[in-house]
Amino acid sequence: MLQTKKALVIFSGGQDSTTCLLQAIHDYGKENVEVVTFQYGQRHAIELEKARWIAQDLGVKQTLIDTSVIKAITGNALMDQSAVIEQTDNDMPNTFVDGRNALFLLYAAIYAKGQGISDIITGVCETDFSGYPDCRDVFIKSMNVTLNLAMDYPFNIKTPLMYLDKKQTWALADQLGGLDYVMRHTHTCYLGVEGGCHQCPSCKLREKGLNDYLQQKGQPYV
């Protein structure tokens, strides 16, 4: 039976998905929120440890799904330990994983239907999306329609960060009372460095957004 007041958050243990989780707990209540985390062979596997810890700390059920089969059919710098992570102004970043968000949404939807959950929340963002085509609103909307047709079920994919930049995402975490929590306990670094490498595109984006927000608040930079 459909339970419209429950939500499933696609959860990596990073800044964006943790902010989405905090918002979901605020909106639905902790007892009505679950998270699903994907192991896909990412080199920054530390995020799985962070995701497990945060889910336990916040008291929400976590389901881990192994999708590492994707390594057999595609490769990129996010899954190759020896690759140099690069991002240019004109080309697709070599951290883009073909089909990743489509796969995540498909498996999340299969799980959600089995749990009687219709609302699926993902932290994809079109504003600071690093050039990833599967973070665009048009893709999410098309995937929502596809999943509804594929399973004859009223999924509602929510993207609360879609039009926020990183500064605004930090502001949202602050509004939810979780600024310090997200700063201290989440992981974003592509290289898997505890506390961040401060050099990869993900670290730079995270830190610039945070410093811009703290400057707006009149607080010191981190």
Cα–Cα distance for residue pair 81/103, rounded to 1 Å? 22
- The answer to whether the annotation marks 119 as part of a ligand binding site is no
Q: Is 13 annotated as a binding residue?
A: yes
Q: Is 129 annotated as a binding residue?
A: no
Q: Does the annotation flag 219 for ligand binding?
A: no
The rounded distance, in Å, linking the Cα atoms of 3 and 32 is 9
| 19 annotated binding-site participant | yes
Phi, psi of 99 (to 5 degrees): 80, 0
Residue 75, annotated as binding a ligand: no
Among 156, 194, 129, 182, CA closest to 5: 156
* Angle between helical axes of 201-217 and 166-175 (0-180°, round to 10): 60
Q: Is 189 annotated as a binding residue?
A: yes
Is 29 one of the annotated binding-site residues? no
Closest to 203 (Cα-Cα) out of 56, 47, 58: 47
Does 142 carry a binding-site annotation?
Answer: no
- In order of 33, 55, 108, 124, the CA distances from 9 in angstroms are 7, 11, 9, 12
Residue found under tokens 């929590």: 181
Is 21 marked within a binding site? yes
Among 50, 38, 19, which Cα is nearest to 108's?
A: 38
**12 annotated ligand binder:** yes
Residue 163 identity: Y
- Determine if residue 176 is labeled as part of a ligand binding site: no
Please tell me whether 11 is known to bind a ligand.
yes
Binding residues: 11-21, 189, 197, 200, 203
Binding residues for Zn(2+): 189, 197, 200, 203
Binding residues for ATP: 11-21
